């Protein structure tokens, strides 16, 4: 186990009928006027918007709206949000939606705190510093952005899907009412499932040894996600299954799963970010394709960890270590197929001749990964395995 420092200042408010608390939570932190962000407008249909706005008005918190934030959020919308926030003199941001909306909120907050182009922060040209408080109401459980300090944005002009992180970007308060996710289309639930599993496994598959408590923690999250997903496939209105899935996705990437580890591998995320920088593919769907292929390519570098994964998650006990490891990877693919996720690039119509372009994009900052350091040729080989 590695040395570590753990800190997560986000106040998480979880459960039924909790959205009505947002106005009070914002007001007691001295915020008077928020930039209210949302995505495609589903919050107007499921009652979330009405509940949030009533709470804001009841607590005399003003708001200015900005909608239209897309999955795979883009830099141009961040620029629009910064401009709107500064023009309207808002002193906080309320993000209502999933990870895309929350990541956009974080990027806007970072941009308000910086005199130059906010993309400089993604390029690493300046540190991220801001005093703009962020509040969230989560409507799609997937990314964990509601309780972490990272954000991913696509610079659509340069096909760069890059990230920022800072202690200043932890939301002050995040509200999760699992019942508002009853109305989600199945593909959005499934995308979130894959994203959560991948977050756990990115951290799980690094070279840290003898971190038994965190390995078992990871096993528990993944097994809970698998079981909750099975229940939701039978009944999408199962509140307890929704609640267990929602909390699992938050715990997957709120830094609790990082304790005592080396920071994880993150190759699959790097590769998927390059994939979705070029193609309109949901992040979860892209990860369902990329991560099993990455596993096929690198598992021999840390065989014993894949054996434990296969035994602990899927109950695989028969065979040699190599056979167990391969069987565990096969079971993960099988699960993704069962929840109607793609497992091959050909299924999402990515042209084979574009694979070198994706590999070049993913290696733009140099080698990636922890289990095995991957160069551009390695990434291309993984993409070929994924095809």
CA–CA dist 219, 222 (Å, integer): 5
Tell me the pTM. Answer: 0.94
Q: How many CB atoms lie within 10 A of CB 44?
A: 12
**Where are the chain's structural domains?**
11-180, 185-386
What's the pLDDT at 113? 83
Instruction: Evaluate whether the domain defined by 185-386 bears CATH number 3.40.50.300.
Output: no
Taken in order 114, 118, 119, 122, the sign of the CA dihedral is positive
Contact 105, 136 (CB under 8 A): yes
What's the pLDDT at 46? 87
Least confident of 207-211, 327-331, 338-342: 207-211
Cα 15 to chain centroid, rounded: 21
User: Among 290, 264, 265, which Cα is nearest to 275's?
Assistant: 290
Select from 3.40.50.1970, 3.30.70.260, 3.30.450.20, 3.40.50.80 the CATH code of 11-180. Answer: 3.40.50.1970
Measure Cα distances from 136 to 52, 182, 280 in Å: 10, 19, 25
Strands 160-165 and 150-155: antiparallel
CA–CA dist 234, 214 (Å, integer): 31
Query: At residue 59, does pLDDT exceed 90?
Result: yes
Each residue's pLDDT tens digit, 352-376: 999 999 999 999 999 999 999 999 9
User: Residue 261: phi, psi to the nearest 5?
Assistant: -110, 175
Each residue's pLDDT tens digit, 107-135: 999 999 899 999 999 999 999 999 999 99
Report the pLDDT averaged over residues 257-276.
95
Q: How many residues does the chain have?
A: 387
CA–CA dist 71, 191 (Å, integer): 11
Q: What mean pLDDT value characterizes the chain? A: 96
Q: How many CB atoms lie within 10 A of CB 198?
A: 24
């Amino acid at each position: 186990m590695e040395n570590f420092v753990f800190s997560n200042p986000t106040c998480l408010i979880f459960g039924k009928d909790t959205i009505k608390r947002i106005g009070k939570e914002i007001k007691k932190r001295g915020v008077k006027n928020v930039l209210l962000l949302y995505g495609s407008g589903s919050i107007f249909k499921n009652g979330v918007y009405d509940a949030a706005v009533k709470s804001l008005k009841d607590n005399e918190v003003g708001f200015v709206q900005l909608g239209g934030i897309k999955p795979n959020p883009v830099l141009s919308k961040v620029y629009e949000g910064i401009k709107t926030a500064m023009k309207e003199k808002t002193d906080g941001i309320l993000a209502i939606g999933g990870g895309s909306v929350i990541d956009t909120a974080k990027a806007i907050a970072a941009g308000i705190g910086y005199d130059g182009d906010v993309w400089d922060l993604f390029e690493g040209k300046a540190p991220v510093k801001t005093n703009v408080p962020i509040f969230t109401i989560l409507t799609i459980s997937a990314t964990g952005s509601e309780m972490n300090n990272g954000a991913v944005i696509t610079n659509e002009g340069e096909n760069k899907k890059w990230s920022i992180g800072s202690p200043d970007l932890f939301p002050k308060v995040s509200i999760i009412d699992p019942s508002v996710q009853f109305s989600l289309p199945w593909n959005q639930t499934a995308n979130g499932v894959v994203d959560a599993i991948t977050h756990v496994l990115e951290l799980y598959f690094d070279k840290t040894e003898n971190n038994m408590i965190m390995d078992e923690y990871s096993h528990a999250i993944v097994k809970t996600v698998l079981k909750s997903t099975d229940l939701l496939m039978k009944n999408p209105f199962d509140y307890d299954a929704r609640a267990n899935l929602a909390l699992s996705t938050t715990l997957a990437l709120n830094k609790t799963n990082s304790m005592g580890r080396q920071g994880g591998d993150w190759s699959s995320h790097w590769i998927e970010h390059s994939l979705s920088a070029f193609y309109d593919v949901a992040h979860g769907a892209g990860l369902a394709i990329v991560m099993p292929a990455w596993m096929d390519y690198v598992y021999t570098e840390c065989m014993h960890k894949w054996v434990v994964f296969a035994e602990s998650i899927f109950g695989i006990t028969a065979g040699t270590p190599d056979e167990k490891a391969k069987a565990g990877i096969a079971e993960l693919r099988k699960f993704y197929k069962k929840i109607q996720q793609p497992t091959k690039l050909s299924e999402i119509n990515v042209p084979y001749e574009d694979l070198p372009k994706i590999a070049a994009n993913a290696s733009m900052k140099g080698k990636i990964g922890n289990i095995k350091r991957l160069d551009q040729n390695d990434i291309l080989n993984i993409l070929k395995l994924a095809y």
